[in-house]
A and B are shown apart, each in its own frame.
Chain A
Amino acid sequence: MGKIEWAMWANEQALAAGLIYATGGIVGVAGQFRGWQFAAFGIAAGVFVCLLEYPRSKRAKGTSVERTGQYCFTACVKAFGPLTRNYYIRAFLHAALCVPGGFMLATVLGSVCLAIASLIYLSAAIHGEHWEPILPRTEPPKRVGESIKEPPQNPPPRPPPELRRKKVDNLETAAYDNPMSVTSNE
């Protein structure tokens, strides 16, 4: 088994867990269950986790597949610098966010899923991974035919004019006789 990038899986899990957390919160608030304040917190925490986890990290080796429209989220998450780069911080943040969900019926599942995601992030952090933003390629792709825009500066080397003059009686060189003179000194 080669090197597994745990962070990729943790990212998918955290995104799904955030959605489950938010859905459970909506059910709790809409049904006015007991402790619905925790459900309201669950909605906010779920949405926050989704926004944080939406931009995928750049892979250490290989091509990274972006999520659609993730560039604006990447810019926001990148702005926090080392707070979002480090996976230890993310693991502890998720662990902290999932605790209040356990107190309320509808958000229990969401908090358990977020706890699992937090554990996988911890494993990723222990393996030394960190978050890298996927930035669009800045250098322009090579244009085909760019070399023809730069014509040669010097004429090609030619023999002296005496040898260039055509000998008409010689049959072979007569084949290369130009119909009109192309040089000024002929």
Chain B
Amino acid sequence: MSVALKSWSVNEGPKHLIMVVWVAVNVFLFWRSFMLYFSGSQYYYLHQMLGLGLCISRASASVLNLNCSLVLLPMCRLLLSFLRGSQRVTSRRVRRLLDKSKTFHVACGVTICVFSVVHVCAHLVNMVSFSVRYSEDFPALNVAQYRGQDPRVLIISTVPGVTGVLLVLVLFLMFTASSYSIRVSNYEIFWYTHNLFIVFYIILMVHVVGGALKYQSNVEAHPPGCMHSNLSSGSRTNHRAAGEKGEELLGGPQMVCQEEARFQPHFPQTWLWVSAPLCLYCAERLYRFIRSSAAPVTIVSVVSHPCDVIELRMLKRGFKPRPGQYILLNCPSVSSFENHPFTLTTCPTGTNETFGIHLRVLGDWTSSFSLLLLQQSNSSEILPMMQQRRYPTVHVDGPFGSPSEEVFNYEVSVCVAGGIGVTPFACVLQALFDDWRQYKLRRMYFIWVCRDLQSFYWFADLLCALHERLWRDNRPDYLNVQLYLSNTQGLQSIGEERYRFLSSRLRIGRPKWSLLFQEIGRANQIKRVGVFCCGPKGISKALHTLCNSNTHSGTAFEYNKESFS
């Protein structure tokens, strides 16, 4: 039981800690703003006029400030890749938190939507209060021009009103296009509407300039609730609202106002919150755009593999990715604005400067791209550079980090791949083939589940070559390969002689994860094992549960998941 608690706290602890801290900061900001407007003396008259709507709207605005600034930070991919790569600066626990950056972005986004609803509702009530409780005593405080003015006119005629409506519409468009089903089916709608964020932020900066809510700037000279000596009539006009239950001094001495109350609009605090992350994100996008269009990418070879997979080898000067990273590919001949992520399957080494990806032809972009590539090359030979066939131009953005980079930082790693999800691990295997001695990794369990037997041929050569190399270097237990064919009908054996290593490790049927974990736990007692999964949701969920609940042999399993959309 104690090991399960240790596993759980290693796997889930830091994530939940960050969540608790974030919620606490939000609650603190909400409470602080609320109390400021509820009982602050410089807002006394405004609070009298507007009531609770003022406090709720301002408190939700401060939560929105925080979340609008935080929501951009997880999307600064280059910055995160840099943090991931600087292994001396950050510890592994922090790097594992970087895997969850997209979840954090979604959490901040949902918070923005929820609190926008609260903010809008509170301001609707404020509009009505401005209109109904028009104040003759303090005309500077009013937003309405006369008592009983239609609140809808107030919305249209003030800057915060108009910009507020526009902000809600932009947020509506962005939020409705971000659901999981739309991202899976029509990614373009999500991408183009989400890029409206810049419009959102610009309108947000204008929204806070309006100056509708004012604070009293001379509280010392004119304490709120003081008596105003009215010279003409001789009677004292008391600034306290009629019917207010004064906890103030009923019998005590009333203060005399030395001067009229003066009101001033706020400095727009949102600018301080939002400008730094916005500038950082825009600078990063600009840098990525310049870097990807400046250095040209030449396609060296195109190889067609079974099961609709195409291997593409490219060359780009000054491109230094690490194993496990991914790139964004853009092909202007297919579509000018779409960027598609592909994990690198081969990194440049000293001997071979090319890098490669394996792309599976599944959607419309990949189909058009593969047609453009394959019509140029009917065979799979590699031509020398002089006689380049005319391939389409591509732009490569990246490289960006992913959880699979951590495989080398554990002593024992378990890599589970489903179908085309094998690509990050293929790059890892390639790096091990080049030089396995330089890494901390001592043992790797490689489990590959496929639906179709032909898929194993994508990397059959690499696996056999690595196995042979490790045997020659006298490390036969370094690599443990298990191949599973989940489709029980059809062809079920790898016949070729040179792939005998693979055919003897091929099993028919789905793997039993609990047995596998028991076996790995017994063979690696009192060690920390890194589990890496890149595959369908069913597999990753099963593995996640097992990592958290394992109670055998003192082994702690740390779960790392690669996420695709």
Please pick, from B121, B182, B338, the residue contacting A23 in the complex, using a CB distance under 8 A: B121
Q: Contact check, A9 vs B182: say whether CB atoms are below 8 A apart.
A: yes
Which one, A8, A27, A108, contacts B185 given CB within 8 A?
A8
Q: Is B365 an interface residue (CB 8 A)?
A: yes
> Quick check: is B127 within 8 A (CB to CB) of the other chain?
yes
Q: Please report the total number of A residues contacting B with Cβ < 8 Å.
A: 31
When the two chains form their complex, are residues B177 and A12 in contact, meaning their CB atoms are under 8 A apart? yes
The reply to whether B176 and A59 contact each other, CB–CB distance below 8 Å, is: no
Residues of B within 8 A of A50 (CB): none
In contact, B152 and A105 (Cβ under 8 angstroms): yes
**Cβ contact within 8 Å between B189 and A4:** yes
Q: Does B213 contact A (CB under 8 A)?
A: no
Chain B hits for A3, CB < 8 A: 364
The interface residues of chain A lying within 8 Å CB-to-CB of B523 are: none
Cα distance, A106 to B168, chains bound together (Å): 13
Q: A118 contacts the other chain (Cβ, under 8 Å)?
A: no
Interface SS majority for chain A: helix
Task: Give A48 to B338 CA distance when docked, in angstroms.
Answer: 37
* Chain A residues positioned under 8 Å from B289 (CB to CB): none
A1-37 near B? 1/0 per residue, CB < 8 Å: 1111100110011011100100110010001011000
Is B152 touching A108 in the complex (CB atoms < 8 A)?
yes
CB <8 Å contact, B176 and A13: yes
Assuming the contacts A9-B176, A12-B176, A116-B169, asked whether A2 and B364 have C-beta atoms less than 8 A apart, the reply is: yes
Interface residues in B341-389 by Cβ distance below 8 A to A read 363-365
Bound Cα distance from A24 to B172, whole angstroms: 15
Contact-residue size bin, chain B (C-beta under 8 Å from the other chain): 20 to 34
Distance to closest chain B CB from A73 (angstroms): 16
Q: What are the residues of chain B within 8 A of A4 when measuring CB–CB?
A: 186, 188-189
A5 in contact with B185 (CB, 8 Å): yes
Given contacts A1-B188, A109-B165, contact A8 B181 (CB under 8 A): yes
Nearest chain B residue, comparing its CB with the CB of A103:
B152
What residues of B have a CB within 8 angstroms of the CB of A15 in the complex?
176
Question: In the complex, what residue of chain A is closest to B336 when comparing beta carbons?
Answer: A1
Query: From A64, which residue of chain B is reached at the shortest CB distance?
Result: B181
A-B contact pairs, 20 of them (CB 8 A): A1-B188, A2-B363, A4-B186, A9-B177, A9-B186, A13-B172, A15-B176, A20-B117, A23-B121, A27-B124, A34-B128, A105-B127, A105-B152, A105-B155, A106-B121, A108-B152, A108-B155, A108-B165, A116-B173, A144-B488
Residues of chain B having any CB pair with chain A under 8 Å: 117, 120-121, 124-125, 127-128, 151-152, 155, 165, 168-169, 172-173, 175-177, 179-182, 184-186, 188-189, 335, 338, 363-365, 488
Identify 12 new A-B residue pairs, CB closer than 8 A, beyond the known A9-B177, A105-B152: A1-B338, A4-B186, A8-B185, A13-B172, A15-B176, A16-B176, A27-B121, A31-B125, A33-B124, A34-B128, A65-B184, A105-B128
